[in-house]
Amino acid sequence: ASPKCESAPFDKTEGNYWMSVDQYVGGIEHAVMHLLYSRFFHKVMRDLGLVDSDEPFKRLLTQGMVVAHSFHCKTHGYIPPAETQNGKCPHCQAELAVKVDKMSKSKKNGIDPDEMVKKYGADTVRVFMLFAAPPEKDLEWSDTGIEGAARFLRRIFQLALKNFEELKNSDPKSLKLENLSKSGAEINKIIHKTIKKVTEDFTLEYRFNTGIAFLMEYLN
């Protein structure tokens, strides 16, 4: 809040300016750690007169986990998905127990984000993760889902490229609504509905998946 203050934990004016935090985003596993501790310390500081606010955070969003299929052999433990052989253990050919688990190193079901970014690009990975599930729900990793996000972004790029010269030479300020054709007026209406919906979903409701769905509908 005030890193240059040397006479107190923080300057009260600056502390009141920065606190309470507008939005806290964290996993459910942090509810009895970070959240509990920060609320405890904040209320102690309030009682001491160091801050004026009652709570450290105004709003909480508890995000879901990223989950994926895990494969377990009774003899050899967890097997990485890429090493399984038609649902069998590559070491002893026993049938593997398959279930959906939180991605983790111990379950060997993690996806390396660097590999995904290298293959598809960071924007595709972001779009897939935001579109696959609401932020408060678990997100099940899906190779077909990330392919779909890549196709969506490719279509946007190709549409812009195909109309590049027309877009480059157009002047939005010269657009006269009364001169629009019937289909042009309909598209203009859809543009404004999309702007309103995406703005609300992204900045107020944090429903990124429905905002992206509207963008997909708009592209169509």
Task: Tell me how crowded residue 200 is: count the other CB atoms within 10 A of its CB.
Answer: 13
Element (H, E) at 27: strand 24-27
Tokens of 198: 């995406």
> In this structure, which amino acid lies at residue 144?
T
Residue 89 pLDDT:
95
Residue 29 pLDDT:
78
**199 CA to centre of own chain:** 15
φ, ψ for residue 57, nearest 5 deg: -130, 140
CA distance linking residue 128 with residue 110, whole number of Å: 16
Residue 27 pLDDT:
82
Q: Give pTM, 2 decimals.
A: 0.76
Residue 31 pLDDT:
78
Task: Tell me how crowded residue 201 is: count the other CB atoms within 10 A of its CB.
Answer: 19
Q: Which residues, including other chains, have CB under 8 Å from residue 16's CB and lie 6 or more apart?
A: 51, 52, 53
Residue 193 pLDDT:
96
* Backbone Cα Rg of the chain: 25
Report angle CA 127, 218, 161 to the nearest 5 degrees.
75
Mean pLDDT of the chain: 92
CA distance linking residue 131 with residue 129, whole number of Å: 6
pLDDT tops 80 at residue 30: no
Residue 21 pLDDT:
94
Alpha helices in the chain (DSSP H): 12-18, 36-47, 113-120, 122-132, 143-162, 164-168, 182-200, 208-219
CA distance linking residue 208 with residue 127, whole number of Å: 9
Q: Which residues, including other chains, have CB under 8 Å from residue 90's CB and lie 6 or more apart?
A: 79, 83, 84
Task: Identify the CA nearest to 198 among candidates 175, 216, 178, 184.
Answer: 216
Q: What is the mean pLDDT of residues 4-31?
A: 90
Residue 78 pLDDT:
96
Please say whether the beta carbons of 78 and 89 come within 8 A. no
Q: What is the pLDDT of residues 98-137, one digit of tens each?
A: 999 999 999 999 988 899 999 999 999 999 999 999 999 9
